[in-house]
Amino acid sequence: MANYENRFFALFKGLALLKKVGKPRPVSDVEKIVSSPDSRVKLKITLRQGHLSYSIFKDGSTIIGTSKLGFKFKNFTPLGDHLALVRATEKSVDETWETVWGEEHFIRDNYNELTLYLSETTKENRLFTLRFRVFDGGVGFRYELPPQPAFSRVEIEDELTEFNVDLSSDSWSIPAYQPDRYEYNYEKKPVYELDRPVHTPLTIALKNNYYISLHEAALYNYGEMTLKLDEWKALKSDITPLSDGIKARVELPFNTPWRLIMIADSPIGLTKNHVMLNLNDPPVEDFSWVRPLKFLGIWWAMYVGEWTWASGERHGASTSHALEYIDACRRLGIKGLLLEGWNDGWDGDWLENGRTTNFLRPMPDCDLPGIAAYAAKNGVSLIGHHETVGFVDNYEAQLDSAYKYYASLGIEYIKPGYAGSMMSIQGNREFHHSQLGVLHYQKSLELAAKYHICLDVHEPIKGTGIERTFPNLLTREGARGQEYEGGALSPSHACILPFTRLLSGGMDYTPGIFDIKNDVKRLSSTLARQLAYYVTIPSGMQMAADRPRFYEEVNPDVFKFIRDVPVNWETSHPLMGKIGEYYVVARKDRDSDDWFIGGVTNENAHKVRVSLDYLDDGASYTAEIYRDHETAHFRDNPLGIKIETTTVTKQNFLDIWMAPGGGFAIRLKKNNTE
Ligand code: NOJ
Ligand code: CA
């Protein structure tokens, strides 16, 4: 956010520009075309009779038909009519940058940019800028509002951006403005049925066989963009309002988040798209201290009713349980431990208690400093938990002291949670994904960075790639995860996520439940599929979510995969997939020569032929294959698993059968050539 000095400087620059430009000669009927570096994607921008619109094509086929741009403000006339082009600039960028962690070590940022400096032809004579970037993988654009004398603080009533796609195309969406935030099952329906707002990424299979996902990048200080058909049947941005109906209050200069259209030739092509991250800025400080992590948790034992968050005989986060779990971490080779229910707030009605929860007061049977010291001695990082229930006022009053407290104990990871249906901010009930919600998430992220703390945010704001700028945001939830097992998750869910939610970044899905047949939380999954998730659902923090005894006593051979699988990747090769049906991906470890492959299917069995042509030339690999047994089935025989070992080279294929609700995981360990 610009500080006072920066704003003053920008205002000065804006005035200088206005002076230089003078009263622009109206330039009407302008048409500009920008192509992607491979020339297949074309963006057309048209200024006709003062109205600006854009459209997008791939290989000559329409991706986005003519779509409007502009704003409505409180106390000002709308911006978007009566425009004239003052100046247009173009540039091309082709750079490669290194990630701190993630699905790729190096990412190429390659685009052609067009910037339009516009001015109104009316007496208001306001200025605004539109910046477009055209990549091989899609298009990003944003509005930039420079400071100007009579127009410096604005209340945005509506953003008019449209995305006119073929209405008969199928789409996969979750509803917006709902009490469970992003935690819904995806619905497949034609775009013409999207008359209620949906969250992005909104993935669409166009009738001309291109696949697109509409989303946004770099969401700061603004309401999240949801999408909905307007009364004219245009798919339009619907910015999440504040409690008084205003979409965002901003001071100029202000740049909106990037509006993003990812474009691919196939569903699997969509899953290797780095435009969102490329539209975010590099970090401004050193984040080399950030460490991706695998962790156990005092957690699933609560979900299956063995332990409780609340105090009492079965209290989960007691000192003795924590020490037991730290010992288990050491034995299992897992470097992190999540501690839920350690502090005040869980007794009685925890959803109401959030108003006054104290984030510095451990439960009487939880010696947090003692646990932290024991964890440090054993090389285990604790993940502290903050369940705010959305009571942001209460949380923000303690934010600095709560983070400082963890930092003083050497706790370098926090899982904040916002389980309420709304947030309570400045005494009002606000949507999690409103501008005030976005500002809160950002405040806690920046404060965490100050204390060198990494976050795994539950009930978060959706991902828009800001982890490029703040890599201490290691992961987030923001979709239905395994805690919804026990009836509310179907096997197709994990076959939809890679093409929708995961386009916005990694997810803490909490994989690795081995106690699949548990009466309280019966999973719709086979055992092999639990391993697949570590590859199909990337996350900078990856949980081994079950209780340690299931790993150590029940299935130690199966657990080996969880111990071996990394959380940080050198590169990723999505191999095949159909939205809601199946998905297979291969990823190379960032710290070794090993490759890992994961695959999942929906409620139908599916056979795949997995190619290995990305392996090193001339090298042989030991393939450790964890696959569904021929008799496996997520309902009848979920534990049926086969572990096989074979030697392969890049010339081989692996034929793998996935059971209904099943999956597979493979480790390819490179053999020494000597
Ligand atoms: C919802 C979170 O997703 C879950 O992980 C957590 O255990 C509960 N809230 C309680 O904080
Ligand atoms: Ca949740």
Residue ranges of the domains in the chain?
Answer: 2-278, 285-478, 483-537+559-674
DSSP H or E run through 156: strand 153-159
- 385, 367, 325, 353: which is closest to 546 by C-alpha? 325
Q: Are 445 and 473 in contact (CB under 8 A)?
A: yes
Q: How far is the centre of ligand 1, averaged over its atoms, from the C-alpha of 222 (Å)?
A: 26
* The domain over range 483-537+559-674 is classified in CATH as 2.40.10.340: no
pLDDT tens for each residue of 526-543: 999 999 999 999 999 999
Instruction: Tell me: pLDDT of 9 over 50.
Output: no
Atom of ligand 1 at shortest range from CA of 458: 3
Smallest CA-to-CA distance from 432 within 445, 424, 423, 440 is with 423
Q: Which CATH architecture has domain 2-278?
A: Distorted Sandwich (2.70)
- Using the predicted structure, report yes or no on whether residue 424 has a pLDDT greater than 90: yes
Give which of 597, 623, 606 is closest to 659, Cα–Cα. Answer: 606
pLDDT at 11 over 80: no
Spatial separation of the C-alpha atoms in residues 229 and 24, rounded to whole Å: 35
**How far, in Å, is the centroid of ligand 2 from the Cα of 230?**
31
Least Cα distance to 218 among 1, 457, 45, 501 occurs for 1
How many Å lie between the centroid of ligand 2 and the Cα of residue 638?
25
Q: Which atom of ligand 1 lies closest to the CA of 510?
A: 5
d(CA 570, CA 595): 10
Is residue 245 pLDDT above 70, yes or no?
A: yes
Check pLDDT > 90 for residue 635.
Answer: yes
**Residue with the larger pLDDT of the pair 81 and 8:** 81
DSSP code string of 581-642: TEEEEEEEESSSS-EEEEEEE-SS-EEEEEE-TTSPTT--EEEEEEEE-TT-BTTTBTT-EE
Phi, then psi, of 596 in degrees rounded to 5 = -135, 140
Mean pLDDT in residue range 473-487: 98
Cβ < 6 A, ligand 1 pocket = 340, 387, 417, 419, 458, 477, 483
d(CA 316, CA 299): 8
Looking at residue 7, its pLDDT comes to: 44
- Give the pLDDT mean for 432-459: 98
Average pLDDT, the chain: 95
Closest ligand (CA of 387): 1
Q: What is the CATH T-level fold of the domain 285-478, as seen in this structure?
A: TIM Barrel (3.20.20)
> What pLDDT score does 327 carry?
98
Residue 25: the pLDDT is 58
Q: How many whole angstroms separate alpha carbon 490 and alpha carbon 184?
A: 12
User: Which residue's CA is the closest to the ligand 1 atom numbered 3?
Assistant: 458
Which pLDDT does position 14 carry in this prediction? Answer: 44
Cα separations in angstroms, 389 against 128, 408, 589? 39, 25, 36
Per-residue pLDDT of 586-596, as tens digits, reads 999 999 999 99
For ligand 1, atom 5: residue with the closest CA: 458
2-278 against 483-537+559-674: fold identical: no
Distance 416 CA to ligand 2 centre (A): 11
Ligand 1 atom with the shortest distance to the CA of 302: 7
Angstrom distance (rounded) from CA 582 to CA 601: 4
Q: What is the pLDDT of residue 562?
A: 98
The percent of the chain in helix, strand and coil, each rounded to the nearest 5, is: 20, 35, 45
**What is the pTM assigned to this prediction?**
0.95
Q: How far, in Å, from the CA of 344 to the mean position of ligand 2?
A: 20
Q: Would you state the pLDDT for residue 150?
A: 85
The reported pLDDT for the residue numbered 122 is: 92
Please report the pLDDT score of residue 19 as a whole number.
Answer: 47
Residue 357 C-alpha to ligand 1 middle, in angstroms? 15
Q: Does the structure show a pLDDT above 70 at 342?
A: yes
Residue 672, pLDDT score = 84
pLDDT value, residue 15: 44
pLDDT digits (tens, 9 = 90+) for 125-154: 999 999 999 999 999 999 999 999 889 999
Residue 75 confidence (pLDDT): 93
Which residues have a beta carbon within 5 Å of ligand 2, which is an ion? 458
